[in-house]
Amino acid sequence: MFEVETDVSRASELLRQMNDEGVTVKLMAVHTGYSYQQTWKFLAGEANPTPEFLNRLFVATGDLRIVGLITMGRPCFFHLCDLPHPTVRTAEFLHETIEQRQKDIDCERYVLQILADGKISETDRPAVEAYNKSFYEAIKHAFIIHDSLVEEFEKSAGKP
């Protein structure tokens, strides 16, 4: 278990976004073992989510934005082997993930060009904001592709 001080407003904002995206207060409560009322207080910004709550929510959802919240936006490296992902990856799921990863890479290339020229300006704001917003999902896409590739390679090599 980790120890962390989170910013109540950032935590509340993320929980509201997750709620808007379909991870409802009820689902959060079920996945974390916290009461509906306590979970609502976290979402409403009336209480700071506990490290245990955030850890359980991350394990249940695999939402890497929770890691960003825990680290308060500071860079960190961690092993993603326990990241939840579909156990059966259909061809359609992988195709969609690959397409999204290609978009992630295009965005990363553009941001790298911005950094390389050393002139970050107001016109770069939309690209930087898009990169920042999609950063954790891009990591998740890369993980799924890597995991799928290794799994397929091991199957072709006759490993169980």
**Tell me: the pLDDT tens digits for 50-70?**
888 888 888 788 787 887 777
Q: Is the pLDDT of residue 148 over 50?
A: yes
Non-local (6+) Cβ contacts of 146 within 8 A are none
The mean predicted confidence, pLDDT, of the chain is: 81
Q: 40, 6 in Cβ contact below 8 A? A: no
**pLDDT band with cut points at 50, 70 and 90 for residue 9:** confident
* Residue 130 CA neighbour count, 13 Å, CB half: 14
Any idea of the CA torsion for 66, 72, 76, 78, to the nearest 10 degrees?
A: -30
pLDDT of residue 3: 42
What lies within 8 Å, CB to CB, of 61 at 6+ separation is 18, 23, 31, 84
Chain position carrying tokens 């390679």: 153
pLDDT at 85 over 90: no
Q: How far apart are CA 36 and CA 49, in angstroms?
A: 13
- Give yes or no for a contact between 25 and 40, defined as CB atoms under 8 angstroms apart: yes
Q: Domain spans of the chain? A: 8-70, 91-156
Q: pLDDT band at residue 33, thresholds of 50, 70 and 90?
A: very high
Top pLDDT among 44 and 87 is at: 44
Q: How far is CA 18 from CA 25, 82, 98, in A?
A: 9, 20, 24
For domain 8-70, give the CATH number: 1.10.260
Quick check: 75 pLDDT over 70?
A: no
- Rounded CA-CA distance 78/89 in Å is 24
- Assess whether pLDDT exceeds 50 at residue 2: no
Predicted confidence at residue 1, as pLDDT, reads: 38
At residue 79, does pLDDT exceed 70?
Answer: no
Which of 41, 43, 46, 45 lies closest to 23, judged by CA? 43
CB 134 within 8 A of CB 104: yes
